[in-house]
Amino acid sequence: MKRLPFASAVEAAHAISAGDFTAEEFAVELLDRVRNREAKVQAWANLDSDRFLKAARASDLAGESGALRGIPVAIKDVLDTADLPTQYGSPIYRGYRPVADASCVALIRAAGGIIMGKAATTEFATRHPCATRNPHNFAHTPGGSSSGSAAAVADCMVPLALGTQTSGSVIRPAAYCGVIGFKPSYGMINRTGLKYLAESLDTIGIYSRTVGDAGLLWAQLSGNAMPDVRRADMLRPRIGICRTPQWPHAEPETVSLLAAVETRLARAGADISTVELPDVFDDALDSQEAINDFESWRAFAYERLHHAAQLSPALTAKLENAARCTRDRYERAQQTASNCRRQLEAVFDTCDVLVTPAAPGEAPSGMPTGNPIFNQIWTMLRVPCIAVPSGTGPRGLPLGVQVIGRRNADADTLVAAEWIFRVLSPGGCPVPVSTHKAVQ
């Protein structure tokens, strides 16, 4: 039998429903993977093995029929869970237990999914790192802020995980760790129970190892029909290669990657064009940062006024800088954002999706979470973004591209991303070397 922890969520859900194996057997295998790897990867903020196994047994006994029946999901530790601590990556909230699940967590349970544990996050989903390491090379960062979510999925500890993105916190870790990262259109997934960072930017996203798995979880959380990724078989997508005004920040491996990706997609039958963004986008990056600053300074009012000594120096400095953003600057930034969204609509009249860099290059060494400069404007534009593994860099670490779709056209964007994934990653997401043994 195929290794259970390496199976896709869609495959596992079908196998559990068919009685080929149980949710408990799946849980046992995943916990074995965690025992072998977690000491080095450090993907989890809280994982109660006994609670997880009990939930899996209960799922088997109940014979639930939900779309996520028996499927484990990791939850980024900025999303509330009633049965596990929610600590937001901060000592201020050590041991904190919310009285209710976040909406997305409740919906996962209602669909038969099993919450495996809380994935490690940077401090309040900002840039101060947690202990998580890149499973492909422990000397490198997994990216942030959804560090544990990306690493746990990449390391095959769990098939699905939730992350969040305010600047680049879903897409960049996915690219660094070599998995699918899906930031849906803004507001597509309800955010009740999320610790806000910047309320007009924050978006709940998904990690998986296949595009179909991302579509499965997105459908359960958004109320949309599950995208039929088999439609990719009939596509001849119109793809715009968009280097963005941030292109000077691309490292040599990303420059080479995008050129190679363009060639491979064209040879596979895509209708390729080069897309230059209108001049208004020259101010988009500064506007995203202004919006982030103005909203985050207010979002953390309680923490900075009552627990300033427990904030990291990095977050303290960020908030001191954020305090300088005036209401006038914020409103001008929001106007620029509106103008950019309006002009982006015309771009999609000539292409189905855009392909852009997902990150400047490979995951940096050490603990810095990386630069979100290729993600920020797309978050502000509120469009669906999907990180697709696309190769490796000079140090053997994963590289990815970012697939951008029209706002609220998430299902079509997922299908286009499936076509691109098949071309660029025909063997699927890269799996870190391990000693995990198959279940017979």
Print burial letters for 426-437: b (CB count within 10 Å at least 16), e (below 16): eebbbbbeeebe
Which residue in 8, 59, 76, 147 is the catalytic one?
Answer: 76
Query: How far apart (Å, rounded) are the C-alpha atoms in residues 229 and 211?
Result: 8
- Annotated active-site residue 76? The verdict is yes
Are the C-beta atoms of residues 334 and 289 closer than 8 Å to each other?
no
- Nearest Cα to Cα of residue 319 among 333, 300, 291: 300
Point out the catalytic residue in the list 8, 59, 90, 169.
169
Helix spans in 226-326 (H): 252-267, 284-299, 301-306, 313-322
- C-alpha–C-alpha distance, residues 320 and 289, integer Å: 14
Q: Of 8, 59, 103, 145, which one is the catalytic site residue? A: 145
Token pair belonging to 317: 């400095």
Nearest-angstrom CA–CA distance, 334 and 291:
7
Of all residues in the chain, what percent are helix, strand and coil, respectively (each to 5)? 45, 15, 40
Whether 145 is a known active-site residue: answer yes
- C-alpha 245: how far from its chain's center? 23
Which amino acid is located at 29 in the chain? E
The torsion angles phi and psi of 238, rounded to 5 degrees, stand at: -90, 110
Is residue 287 flagged as an active site residue? no
- CA dihedral 3→70→33→359, nearest 10 degrees, is 90
Strands of the sheet containing 180-183, edge to edge, are 44-46, 114-119, 72-76, 160-165, 203-208, 180-183, 385-392, 398-404, 353-357, 238-241, 271-274
Which residue numbers are catalytic? 76, 145, 169
